[in-house]
Structure 1
């Protein structure tokens, strides 16, 4: 069986296409000084028209303190950068603890945002995630398509923000686990990130453990459905069982916004 990675990379493509369609000018394009020089080569539209995705950095050094123990240190795992670039986009780092005006300046220059996995659910990082999330809503409410893709911790933080309940998450046993994706009969895939998937791949995702899970927390379908704020904001696209057979929501999509969240890791190619 071939690797599912090329198909899974399509998760980002609908988001990027939507972002590209929102602007027909070159406003907000970041260029080097050499790009304005008369001696420089002509600009390549294929390069400058690629979407730019902002990825919010996560506190820490990504190496359990082996590189730096500084409290101001943050990182972006290379897998997320490669994931975005593999879909044809470019990346701008949004450093979570840089001045708010700098983050807002960067947000005005990108076409969408990605929230990564991690472990921090409070403090300055959570506050930055909340501000960026509100920015996403505001841009879309203003009629400017601005997609958000949130993974693992990002999914969990968005659930906390939308529900306005920092204790809404539940415990699950899904550390370093390969799992299936179950597609509930009550949820249509039309207009979702799965719409472009081959039927054969959808079937394999249902029956084979193709996706990588790595989390201790999540939200059950029952909890999401019974929370008015969450159920009115999101629709459930997939669920997955943890190691004990407990079912949690693994993919959601906003009803009115270009926001998709996965509890699983599409940037990881399971061996």
Structure 2
């Protein structure tokens, strides 16, 4: 081949490579991932007289550790801010956790603030701005109130007891349980892996009679209360990344009061770990972010010191605000 021919061949070769590289990206439809997620945790109003000297609102440290163990950081969200401030926070965080506790689910500040974030999350997800919400115990109850537009809870006491879940046929195909092994799913249905500490809940009958709830949620499990009422213990939204558990996955690894039936078996620990990782993985799909590293750092739970609270309802540590 002549020098002229060789030069033309080389030029054509590199031109082809250049065009092909532009036409065929190495990552097709690669979904963006946020590797520095921040999950907001809505604080609870202090109602216990023993706790009042420490602050107005609180978060048990077990919830913080639970979220952090999944690979996220935590931002505490107070109940005393303006709507504009909550809207600003929403644009910074990558998910929201409604914790358990005690509050009026229609008239309290907790309910008011939760509704603001819930409405923002609905609108964001509708326009393709992914934003997950998780509700634990009262947090799950709150989600049902927000969806139904009314409080439909009834007495379903399951206090200080660990239970297996009565999984529905939809559980195997759910997003929440998708990462659980066959062994762990079997254990979940047969072993007491879920700690229950509640007096109210949503019965399956009430759910089935309410069109709003049926259209919004898929029931993943049920359980039987002390009064024989069949209550919903796990659910997830059909079209939104919203999840609820009537039980407490955080206690399996982070609460140890001997007087309380916290499940600490190997399978219980695995369950807690997998669900924390699942929810944080959902948070990674949110691309919300703080405006600066300084704003980021000043907003996180690291700026607060938990109080040892051995006598506070089974909590070893509590953050007060």
The answer to whether TM tops 0.5 is yes
- CA change 1:22–1:106 in 2 (3 A) is farther
Indicate if the aligned counterparts of 2:45 and 2:58 stay in contact, CA closer than 8 A: yes
Indicate which of 45, 48, 54 corresponds to 2:40: 54
What's the offset of the Cα at 1:170? 1.1
The structure in which a higher percent of residues are helix is: 2
What residue ranges of structure 1 are gaps of 5+ in the alignment? 1-20, 25-48
| Pairing 1:145–2:149 present | no
TM-fit CA distance, 1:175: 1.1
Q: 1:161 aligns with which of 146, 156, 161?
A: 146
Tell me which of 167, 171, 183 is aligned to 1:183: 167
Which residue does the alignment assign to 2:17?
Answer: none
Q: Does 1:238 align with 2:221?
A: yes
| CA distance, structure 2, for counterparts of residue 23 and residue 143 of structure 1 | 14
Mapped contact 2:174–2:220 kept (Cα < 8 A): no
Where do 1:55-204 residues align within 5 Å?
A: 55-60=41-46, 64-68=48-52, 73-121=56-104, 122-166=107-151, 168-185=152-169, 187-204=170-187
Q: Can you list the C-alpha shifts for 1:103-137, whole angstroms capped at 9, x where unaligned? A: 22111101111100011023222111111111111
**Runs of 4+ more than 3 Å apart:** 21-24
For the residues of structure 2 that align with 1:209 and 1:242, how far apart are their CA atoms? Answer: 14
Structure with max Cα Rg: 2
1:256 maps onto 2:239 in alignment = yes
1:22 Cα deviation after fit: 5.4
**Cα offset, 1:53, TM superposition:** 0.3
Using the alignment, how far apart are the partners of 1:22 and 1:108 within structure 2? 17
Deviation string, structure 1 residues 162-196 (Cα, Å, up to 9, x no partner): 11122x101012111111111112x2432421111
> How many residues align structurally?
223
CA distance in 1, matches of 2:101, 2:171: 30
Q: Distance in 1 between matches of 2:218 and 2:87?
A: 29
Give the corresponding residue for 2:6: none
8 Å Cα contact 1:22-1:144 kept in structure 2: no
User: 2:205 pairs with 217, 222, 225, which one?
Assistant: 222
Q: Is the 8 A contact 1:242 1:248 kept in 2?
A: yes
Is the Cα–Cα contact under 8 Å of residues 22 and 145 in structure 1 kept in the other structure?
no
Question: SS of the counterpart of 2:167?
Answer: coil
Distance 1:60 1:203, change over 3 A: same
Separation of aligned partners in 2, 1:93 and 1:172: 30
Change (3 A) 1:105 1:23: farther
Residue of structure 1 in register with 2:248 after alignment? 265
Q: TM-score, normalised by structure 2?
A: 0.66
